[in-house]
Structure 1
Amino acid sequence: MPTIAADLEIDAPHAELFELAQDYDLRLRWDPFLNSMKFLGGATEAAVGVRVWVRAHNGLTMEVEYITVNPPDQVAMKMTRGPWLFRQFSGAWLFKRLAEDRTRVVFRYNFATRPRLAAPVVEPIVARVLTRDMRLRLEGLKRSAETTDILAELRGRPSPR
């Protein structure tokens, strides 16, 4: 079962980047992969056990459940429903403070595909596509945090925690 990761250093405080990654209204402005996302079951913020529905720009949808929420350092989720291709899928965002205004963000996926017999051929292809998407998402976060007023906008909102 492949685990893939991408990371990028961003000139912004790690706690603010964590909050930005979990603010779904603002996330849709910087995350090039996502078309829409919403909390399910009446939830309004990330917490262990909370489920979220997401739609990618390519039309694929997935429902995920938060399995770890450790602000401002880590958030992880696992797929509960999604594309048939994925037998299993999970992901994590890690935020490591390097300096007051510098953070290393690591994005990690772990997945297994169907059918099992085709996995040795299919999984390397899926890994390449997902790695490209992860890099684009990290670059979107970096560009937004470093070159727009999105963090100031985030600071102006009441904290969900």
Structure 2
Amino acid sequence: MPQVTAEVWVSVPPDTAFAVSQTTGEIRLRWDPFIRYQHLIDADRPGKGVRTLTKARLGPRMISRYVAYRPPTSVGMTMEMGPWFFGTFGGGWRFTPEARQGVAGTRAVWKYTWSARPAWLAPLSDRIGRWLLGREIRARIAAFAGACEDPDVLGGV
């Protein structure tokens, strides 16, 4: 199954990095360049089993479910309903305490995995997916790093 991964180091502790990664509403829209809107379905806060509706700025919608929610170390989601071209789609975050140059912080890793439809098109769609989703995940994790320095975002978590 193809995958793309991006990572960044941020100068906040893992619990703060985790909280920023799981923001919703106006706080999420402040930093995430991919999302037009996102909200939890029938829940007030994220957690294992909770579903989320996300609409991308470029149009596709996805309903996903938290399959893992382990603050402050990791979170995983899987697509329940989404764009026709994904047979499956999943994403996850990992947060590890890591000091750099004597500064305490967190190494954040974000990963997507997917399978494309139709399966016979996979040799081409996997290459396109690695390029397109790789570009997207790198932009999103860079924006996440900026959010970890934004007083308004940090004040909202």
Report the TM-score, using the length of structure 1 for normalisation.
0.90
1:131 aligns with 2:140: no
Q: CA deviation at 1:154?
A: 2.9
SS in structure 1 opposite 2:98? strand
- Find the counterpart in structure 2 of residue 140 from structure 1: 143
Name the counterpart of 2:156. 154
Dislocated runs of 4+, deviation >2 Å: none
User: What SS class does the counterpart of residue 148 from structure 2 fall into?
Assistant: helix
Stretches of structure 1 that go unaligned for 5 or more consecutive residues are 156-161
State the Cα deviation string for residues 22-78 of structure 1 (Å, max 9, x = none): 12031111111111001112x011111110000011111000000000000100000
TM-score w.r.t. the length of structure 2 is: 0.92
Q: Percent identity of the aligned residues?
A: 32
**Structure-2 separation of matches of 1:152 and 1:46:** 18
Please name the residue that 2:31 is paired with.
30
Cα root mean square deviation, aligned? 1.3
1:79-98 to 2 correspondences below 5 Å: 79-98=79-98
Q: What is the alpha-carbon distance in structure 2 between the residues aligned to residue 82 and residue 60 of structure 1?
A: 7
Quick one: distance in 1 between partners of 2:76 and 2:38? 16
Aligned residue pair count: 153
Cα offset for 1:144?
2.1
Structure 2 unmatched runs, 5+: none
Q: Which letter maps to 1:29?
A: R
The answer for the alignment partner of 1:48 in structure 2 is: 48
SS at match of 2:79: strand
Residues 147 and 154 in structure 2, CA contact (< 8 A), matched pair in contact too: no
Question: Which residue in 2 is equivalent to 1:159?
Answer: none
CA distance in 2, matches of 1:152, 1:71: 16
Name the structure 2 match of 1:77: 77
